[in-house]
Amino acid sequence: MALALAWLTRLPVRFPARGGGERTLAEAVWAFPLAGVVVAAAGAAAFVVAHCFGGPGLLAAVLAVAAMVVVTGALHEDGVADFFDGLGARGGRTARLAAMRDSHVGVYGVIALILLLAARVAALSGLSGGEALAALLAAATLSRAAMAWLMLTGAPARTDGAGRAAGEPGEGAVAAAGGLALLALVAAAVVAPFGIAGLVLAPVLALTVAEAVGRRAARRFGGYTGDVLGAACVLSETAVLILLALLLA
């Protein structure tokens, strides 16, 4: 759990190094959804506090998304920007990978960030406090389980970088991540009445989006990178939030 939080958030969490070297992210994939619970809790807390002070739904939604970005250190948003910049780069695979590593954000990355942030805010703005808590819990856990799935089914694009350093997770660890995410989804369904449709469609949608990102990355970059994993997380999370907002409307 500490390893997952140390990699996927900016919380001041320390974990003991294993004798002989540092631990890899692959060892912690089963705990990805638990890190998602922490991120969702921050967003839900900001949303509820805004509501308690009489703030409008739009303000509560903005504060919720902002809280989640702060907790993660915009790690996944950075991945989104780099991923779309890489997709839009001209040239071959080498040029696309170089574009993702460029510290400057291009127009493709900026547009993607604006649209995805706006979509998450819009999806949350019409929800009540309990509904927002449920939607954030489901979206944050399912998207991180989907990221674990992408690590299992894909291959790193580079011989170095975060994607390679993360390591290769085992099937059992990824299955455990999926199980925890589904438990969180069921808990969310108890709080918000998004019904059987949400229970079935939300995990399918999260996996479908992550798989689409992985396939696109394989064609354009030769595999996944840390930025690709971050993009898969944000896109899956956004898709699930939109789905649940529509079901709860």
pLDDT, residue 213, reads 96
Residue 69's Cα: distance from chain center in Å? Answer: 11
Task: For residue 224, list its beta bridge partners.
Answer: 156
pLDDT, residue 15, reads 66
241 CB-side CA count, 13 A? 30
Spell 21-38 as b/e; 16+ CB within 10 A means b: eebbbbbbbbbbbbbbbb
3 has a pLDDT exceeding 80: yes
pLDDT in tens, 91-148: 888 888 888 888 888 899 999 999 999 999 999 999 999 999 999 999 999 999 999 9
Nearest Cα residue to 241 out of 208, 198, 190: 198
Positive or negative torsion for Cα 173, 176, 182, 188? negative
pLDDT, residue 167, reads 78
Q: What average pLDDT does this structure show over 151-170?
A: 82
161 has a pLDDT exceeding 50: yes
In Å, what is the CA distance from 35 to each residue of 31, 200, 213?
7, 23, 21
CB 184 within 8 A of CB 37: yes
Say if pTM beats, i.e. exceeds, 0.85: yes
pLDDT, residue 22, reads 62
Q: What average pLDDT does this structure show over 205-218?
A: 96
Q: What average pLDDT does this structure show over 195-207?
A: 97
**H or E segment to which residue 74 belongs:** none
- Please tell me the distance from the alpha carbon of residue 103 to that of residue 113, in angstroms, as a whole number: 15
Residue pointed to by tokens 């489901």: 138
- Please tell me the distance from the alpha carbon of residue 158 to that of residue 155, in angstroms, as a whole number: 9
Backbone angles phi, psi at 18, to 5 degrees: -75, 145
pLDDT, residue 20, reads 47
pLDDT in tens, 18-40: 554 567 788 899 999 999 999 99
- The residue type found at 218 is A
pLDDT, residue 99, reads 87
